[in-house]
């Protein structure tokens, strides 16, 4: 018993002694689950090639990230918040109240979603509304919402091909799905009117098959099944252009240019926010931000493109880079 207690005491002392907290020597990042893969990729790159500890990246969601980020200054708060949308004015005001006044904004790229089909199919020319009607859970009929009755594309509009609707799309857990719901279904439902505000339900019958996003399975299905249509991130289309082709949306073909210019409708910008005052305190923060904004990462041939980030146009990229590297302070008036 005595010996055992001594061991235990030693363990407790060990716990207490390593509790000796020195200054944090590791960058802390929180925020969006969509930016998470890119952010942790850069973090790993920094840790593997530099002299710094690998930053800790936590996926808390954009809102959760801004909450932690704006909770105050100092070692116990994150240095960077990733965000799949722009910071909200309310979030900025809250941060300001808590003493987080000197923030820089970094625009890192786009998240684009494409609709694709077999290379040999006749080109599919959709409008955003038609796409929404093919995927939405319910459609308005005689002033009421009824379960989506469309089973064939030509039922939605006569100029569409006479093909059954079979869509392989992202599962609910994916960021692509969130973006799709927001940018397609919610937008159209809002325009059509007869839906409640913020309606964004995707149909759950056999016409929409949830399938993993970064997955060869969708491409294999599309290669085999000429009726099938797939929904996935833009980078994946580019990797597989020998087997699949993209549908045009409102007459725009998805490409790096159209996504970057915003003419292609199903895309959104990705950001991160950094506390400028932390640069002096946290080793590696400066290097992390520099690495993230470098051509090697977000450039046209950058490593992040391979895992799904659509690069910004060169001039925008340069501007965004200068903005964050020169620590340009974000002001309230820029935000909504």
Partner 1 sequence: MTLPTDPALHARRKAKERRFKTMSYAAILVAGVFLVFFFADILRQGLPALKQAEILVPIHFTQDILEYPESSLPPEYVPLVSRGVVRLFPNELHATPKLLGSTQERWVLATADVDQFLKGKPNRLKAKERRTAERLQSEGRLRLAWNIGFFTNGDSKLPEMAGVFAAAVGSVYVLLVTLAFSFPIGVMAAVYLEEFAPDNRLMQIIEVNINNLAAIPSILFGLLGLAIFIQFFGIPRSSSMVGGLTLGLMTLPVIIIATRAAIRAIPSAIREGAMALGATRWQVVWDHILPLALPGILTGTIIGLARAIGETAPLILVGMVAFIPQPAASFLEATSVLPAQIYTWASDSQRAFVERTAAGIVVLLVILLSMNALAIFLRTKYERKW
Partner 2 sequence: MTQPLTIVLFLGLIPLAAFGYRLGRGKRLAQSATPSPFAGSAGIFGWYAVLGAAKPALAINLAALGLYLAGILSIPMPVVAASTVVAAMVGLFLALRAIQPHFRAREAIEKTIQRMLFVASLISILTTIGIVASVIFEAIHFFRLVSLWEFITGTQWNPDDALRPDGTVDSSLFGAVPLFAGTLLITCIAMSVAIPVGLFSAICMSEYASPLIRRIAKPTLEILAGIPTVVYGFFAAITVSPLVVETAGRLGLQADSTNALSPGLVMGIMIIPLVSSLADDVISAVPQNLREGSLALGAFPSETIKRVVLPAALPGIVSACLLAVSRAVGETMIVVMAAGLQPVLSANPLRGMTTVNVRIVDAFTGDQAFDSPETLSTFGLGLALLVITLGLNIISLTVIRKFRQRYE
- Among partner 2, partner 1, none, residue 79 binds (CB under 5-8 Å by kind): none
Our CB check for partner 1 shows the closer of 26 and 263 to be 26
- Among partner 1, partner 2, none, residue 196 binds (CB under 5-8 Å by kind): partner 2
Distance CA 166, CA 104 (A): 44
CB of 12 to partner 1, least distance (A): 5
12 binds partner 1 (CB under 8 A): yes
Where are the extended beta strands (E) located within the chain?
28-31, 56-59, 80-83, 103-118, 125-126, 138-141, 144-147, 166-169, 208-210, 228-233, 244-246, 248-249, 267-275
Beta pairing partners, 36: none
CA end-to-end distance (rounded Å), the chain: 65
Which of 26, 98, 155, 227 is close enough to bind partner 1 by CB under 8 A? 26
- Among partner 2, partner 1, none, residue 74 binds (CB under 5-8 Å by kind): none
- Among partner 1, partner 2, none, residue 84 binds (CB under 5-8 Å by kind): partner 2
Burial class (CB in 10 A: 0-12, 13-18, 19+), 88: middle
State the DSSP string of 267-298.
EEEEEEEEEGGGTTTSTTHHHHHHHHHSHHHH
CB of 251 to partner 2, least distance (A): 30
Our CB check for partner 1 shows the closer of 291 and 330 to be 291
Q: Quick one: tokens of 5?
A: 């207690």
Residue 265, helix vs strand vs coil: coil
- Among partner 1, partner 2, none, residue 41 binds (CB under 5-8 Å by kind): partner 1
43 binds partner 1 (CB under 8 A): yes
Query: Which stretches of the chain bind partner 1, using CB under 8 A?
Result: 1, 4, 8, 11-12, 14-15, 18-21, 26, 28, 36-37, 39-41, 43-45, 47-49, 53-54, 56-60, 68, 76, 173-174, 212-217, 220, 239-240, 242, 303, 307
């Amino acid at each position: 018993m005595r010996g055992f207690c001594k061991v235990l005491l030693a363990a407790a002392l060990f716990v207490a002694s390593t509790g000796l907290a020195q200054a944090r020597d590791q960058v802390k990042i929180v925020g969006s689950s969509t930016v998470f893969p890119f952010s942790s990729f850069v973090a790993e790159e920094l840790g593997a090639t530099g002299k710094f500890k690998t930053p800790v990246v936590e996926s808390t969601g954009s809102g959760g990230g801004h909450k932690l980020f704006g909770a105050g200054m100092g070692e116990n708060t994150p240095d960077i918040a990733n965000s799949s949308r722009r910071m909200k004015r309310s979030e900025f005001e809250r941060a300001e109240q808590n003493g987080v006044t000197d923030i820089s904004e970094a625009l890192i790229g786009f998240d684009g979603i494409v609709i694709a089909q077999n290379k040999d199919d006749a080109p599919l020319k959709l409008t955003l509304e038609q796409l929404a009607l093919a995927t939405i859970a319910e459609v308005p009929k005689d002033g009421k919402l009824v379960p989506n009755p469309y089973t064939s594309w030509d039922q939605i509009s006569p100029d569409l091909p006479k093909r059954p609707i079979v869509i392989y799309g992202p599962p609910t857990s994916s960021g692509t799905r969130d973006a799709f719901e927001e940018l397609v279904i919610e937008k159209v439902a809002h325009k059509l009117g007869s839906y409640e505000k913020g309606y964004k339900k995707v149909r759950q019958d056999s016409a929409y098959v949830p399938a993993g996003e970064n997955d060869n399975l969708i491409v294999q299905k599309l290669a085999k099944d000429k009726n099938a249509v797939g929904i996935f991130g833009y980078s994946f289309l580019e990797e597989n252009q020998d087997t699949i082709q993209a549908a045009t949306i409102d007459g725009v073909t998805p490409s790096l240019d159209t996504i970057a210019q915003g003419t292609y409708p199903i895309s959104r910008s990705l950001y991160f926010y950094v506390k400028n005052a932390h640069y002096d305190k946290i080793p590696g923060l400066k290097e992390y931000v520099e690495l993230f904004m470098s051509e090697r990462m977000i450039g046209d041939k950058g490593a992040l493109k391979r895992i799904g980030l659509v690069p910004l146009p060169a001039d925008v990229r340069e501007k965004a880079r200068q903005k964050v590297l020169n620590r340009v302070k974000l002001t309230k008036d820029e935000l909504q």
